[in-house]
Amino acid sequence: MEQARIVIIGAGFGGLYAARELGRSGKKVVLIDRTNYHLFQPLLYQVATGYLAPGDIATPIRSVLANLKSVSVIHDEVLDLDPGKSCITTRECTIEFDYLLLASGVTYSYFGNTEWSKHAPGLKTVQDAVQMRCRILGAFEAAERSADEKEQERLLTTVIIGGGPTGVELAGAVAELSRGTLKGEFRRIDPQKGRIFLVDSGERILSGFHPNTSAYAKKALEKLGVTVLTNTMVTDLGSEEVKIMRAGSLQVIPTGTILWAAGVQASALAKKLAERTGVTLDRSGRVEVEPNLSIKGYPNVFVLGDLASCKGANGELLPGVAPVAMQQGSYVAKVIVARIRGRDLPPFRYFDKGNMAVIGRGHAVAEYGRLRINGFSAWVAWAIIHIYFLIEFENKLIVFIHWAWNYMTNGRGSRLITKG
Amino acid sequence: MEQARIVIIGAGFGGLYAARELGRSGKKVVLIDRTNYHLFQPLLYQVATGYLAPGDIATPIRSVLANLKSVSVIHDEVLDLDPGKSCITTRECTIEFDYLLLASGVTYSYFGNTEWSKHAPGLKTVQDAVQMRCRILGAFEAAERSADEKEQERLLTTVIIGGGPTGVELAGAVAELSRGTLKGEFRRIDPQKGRIFLVDSGERILSGFHPNTSAYAKKALEKLGVTVLTNTMVTDLGSEEVKIMRAGSLQVIPTGTILWAAGVQASALAKKLAERTGVTLDRSGRVEVEPNLSIKGYPNVFVLGDLASCKGANGELLPGVAPVAMQQGSYVAKVIVARIRGRDLPPFRYFDKGNMAVIGRGHAVAEYGRLRINGFSAWVAWAIIHIYFLIEFENKLIVFIHWAWNYMTNGRGSRLITKG
């Protein structure tokens, strides 16, 4: 009998962990990704703000899986999938599967205002991060060229939309860029005078954390010079301004840089899957999965990572973070291995590893169950965990030393403006 | 009396050295560059072949000059210059000067076949290097996707045009990529079987070196698996082939990757300068300069670096390499400082620091006057000199450690395919 063929779409944390686990069991796996690298997304904001180069947080998928000879990697884009016919279609070919793992992730959502995307880049890909870096650094350059004080003021104003971990981390990093790294480098402008707004529609930033943590983060950001605007809706934005509704009144913030860290939506493949199988999508377009992460009516098709709409033990949706995707990847791999042996596994259970966000250098917030740590010790915990995962796939220890050095000195390793 | 204003166009080695020297004397300098970074071009081939990230060899111009308060940096593109009216025009403004230093460098020349550029990228900018990296790595990916043996063979064939130091360094690095780094990472293809051609129209590669050195380099490249084709003219090239004329017969090499390392031509500003001042340009469009690097009839306008057509002590044109540009930058700065004090300096004299090219890891050729070294000791000399200059402007020591580690292990730090 020929070996079952397992096709995995997406080499994020979910897809990669599944591929590795299956490869170690000698299963025949085809892993397909649009890029040739696995991206360490949790540090993407550091690329966007010039601390790290894209290559520092991107590992070639092939090199991670080189020793697992039953795993093939294909650098290609999946255009369609048909669980009924057990095949997927890429740009270049059609591939049949016995098991399918869909882990193609999410992209930014502008809540229907797609034209906002060109003024307010999001942060999911290397291209996004490089574009953000060029916007942020380019605004300082444009301000230095300008002779008009009002124009300089506008260009030195950054608006970050979305007060989740990404928004908070961006706000902190931009503040440290303008207050620290760029200090003394300009002649006409003073980067330290730049204003930074962090806008969120909710009552508090970091709404996934405990209210005390949110309050702490707000205070810490304000100390760095960030103006935190909660209960504030963005009603419109363009190339030079953001319109907000706050306490019932409409305000306009003239700005040179708008960064988007608000909603996400599922990748287009989720829609295809729903069309083909009738599976339900949630409000963000994520796929509702069975307790074992397969989809209704197709026990050989699994959805995992950010793309899966999956409930935790307390009935709440699991967040779109790396630990969830990692655990789901390993879990699904085990389900398939067991299935091939004619057995079944109990439903997926997320082992909560806590929640973290960095505010600035040497400054973070962390929660682990009822334990809450803020400040330097939280940052140390954050750094240790991120180093551990960063060096897991490749010897990136020296990247880390490089990064730690820059981080301590507030130097930046990668400050290129390559576009525009 | 107001201070003389010195405008420098281009922040390569020539422009940056001049700015630094002038800044240290407290002179009022405006340095204009299209990018916001100084690029360490001698290591650009390592970005093109995945060893280094662009940020590793690019230093923000502002941070280099931050402490020289009389120097302003403008991130802008110069469109025109008019020595008669003592002003230059950028995209955003007009700037008057008392002294002008033109150091805008060179770009690749396709000898009139401009349509070749889209099939055979050159290597002068970060964008060039990233494009080259995507081509090189992308060809292996495409070969792995292909099921056709002939097509795989074509995709695994790399043709490098031009046997100067850049061509030799690229050929060596591509050979080590396919023979070393990528080994064991593919399932359908064997990257080691890829063929690499280094094509040169002259009698020998590295024609700027001693014939013995050329012969040594040829042998060393052949050992790495590179086919060196001298006395070979490229007559045409397209997306999938290179046509060559060799020993009187026309041959076609089917290929997946064509890299251009042949002729260069002066930047467009040289032409503008010639139009405005009547100064003579040489065959490559470089500006013929007076013994003190000023141009005829305009003692306050200087041309330096790759853009200057300048003869050495032996009557031969000085090569377009970093040491020439550095020495010219410092020299012109001293000429201007002396001039402001009402004095003059003797003509520019190049102090020859020798010539080097890397063939592969731990393998280089070097010449210093009559002294010729090949092999590992030449490579050590090359590495020390490059480290010295790389860390001169910024603490890039850790970049170097990272690089050394990758280089020794034949790992690659930055293997992203970001386009196409």
Active site members of B: 169
Q: Which of A36, A56, A144 sits opposite B53 (nearest CB)?
A: A56
Residue pair A265/A124 in contact (Cβ under 8 Å)? The answer is no
Q: What is the structure's pLDDT at B394?
A: 60
Angle, alpha carbons B186-B187-B188 (nearest 5°): 105
Instruction: Give the pTM.
Output: 0.90
Check whether A420 has a pLDDT greater than 50.
no
Distance between CA B49 and CA B196 in Å, rounded? Answer: 14
A298-303 and A99-102: which strand pairing? Answer: parallel
Half-sphere exposure of A242 (CA within 13 A, CB side): 30
Residue pair B251/B244 in contact (Cβ under 8 Å)? The answer is yes
Q: What is the structure's pLDDT at B215?
A: 96
- B175 φ, ψ (degrees, to nearest 5): -60, -45
Chain A residues close to B402, C-beta within 8 Å: 398-399, 401-402
| Cβ separation B63–A185 shorter than 8 A | yes
> What band does A305 get if pLDDT is binned at 50, 70 and 90?
very high
pLDDT tens across B297-342, in order? 999 999 999 999 999 888 889 998 999 999 999 999 999 999 999 9
Q: Which of A35, A73, A138 sits opposite B417 (nearest CB)?
A: A35
Angle, alpha carbons A11-A387-A359 (nearest 5°): 100
Q: Which two tokens stand for residue B140?
A: 């292996």
From the list A21, A77, A141, A169, the catalytic residue is A169
| Cβ separation A402–B405 shorter than 8 A | no
Contact residues, B window 382-401, toward A, CB-based 8 Å cutoff = 394-395, 398-399, 401
Q: Is B411 on the interface with A (CB under 8 A)?
A: yes
Check whether A409 has a pLDDT greater than 70.
no
Q: What is the structure's pLDDT at A313?
A: 83
pLDDT tens across B245-281, in order? 999 999 999 999 999 999 888 889 999 999 999 999 9
pLDDT tens across A147-180, in order? 999 999 999 999 999 999 999 999 999 999 999 8
| Contacts of residue B161, Cβ cutoff 8 Å, sequence gap at least 6 | B120, B167, B199, B200, B234, B237, B242, B258, B259, B260, B261, B262
| Helix (H) or strand (E) segment spanning residue B80 | strand B78-82
Residue pair B348/B331 in contact (Cβ under 8 Å)? The answer is yes
Torsion of CA B340, B343, B347, B349, to 10 degrees: -80
- DSSP E strands in B93-152: the ranges are 94-96, 99-102, 106-108
Question: Which DSSP string corresponds to A151-199?
Answer: HHHHHTEEEEE--SHHHHHHHHHHHHIIIIITTT--SS--GGG-EEEEE
pLDDT tens across B23-56, in order? 999 999 999 999 999 998 988 998 999 888 888 8
Higher local confidence (pLDDT), B420 or B211: B211
Residue B99, Ramachandran bin (φ over 0: left; ψ between -120 and 50: alpha; else beta): beta
Q: Which two tokens stand for residue A154?
A: 């506008």
Distance between CA B216 and CA B219 in Å, rounded? Answer: 5
- A140 φ, ψ (degrees, to nearest 5): -65, -40
Active site residue A141: no
Q: Return the residue matching tokens 């003021």.
A: A153
> What band does B419 get if pLDDT is binned at 50, 70 and 90?
low
Question: Which DSSP string corresponds to B23-34?
Answer: HHTT-EEEEEES
Q: Which two tokens stand for residue A32?
A: 């397909």
Burial track B152-171 (b if 16+ CB lie within 10 A, e otherwise): bbbbbbbbbbbbbbbbbbbb
Burial track B328-366 (b if 16+ CB lie within 10 A, e otherwise): bbbbbbbbbbebeeeeeeeebebebeebbbbbbbebbbb
| Cβ separation B398–A395 shorter than 8 A | no
Chain B residues close to A137, C-beta within 8 Å: 36
Amino acid of residue B157: T
Task: Give the 3-state secondary structure percentages of chain A, helix then strand then coil, rounded to 5.
Answer: 35, 25, 35
Q: Is B126 on the interface with A (CB under 8 A)?
A: yes
Q: What is the structure's pLDDT at A315?
A: 86
pLDDT tens across B136-146, in order? 999 999 999 99
Check whether A73 has a pLDDT greater than 70.
yes
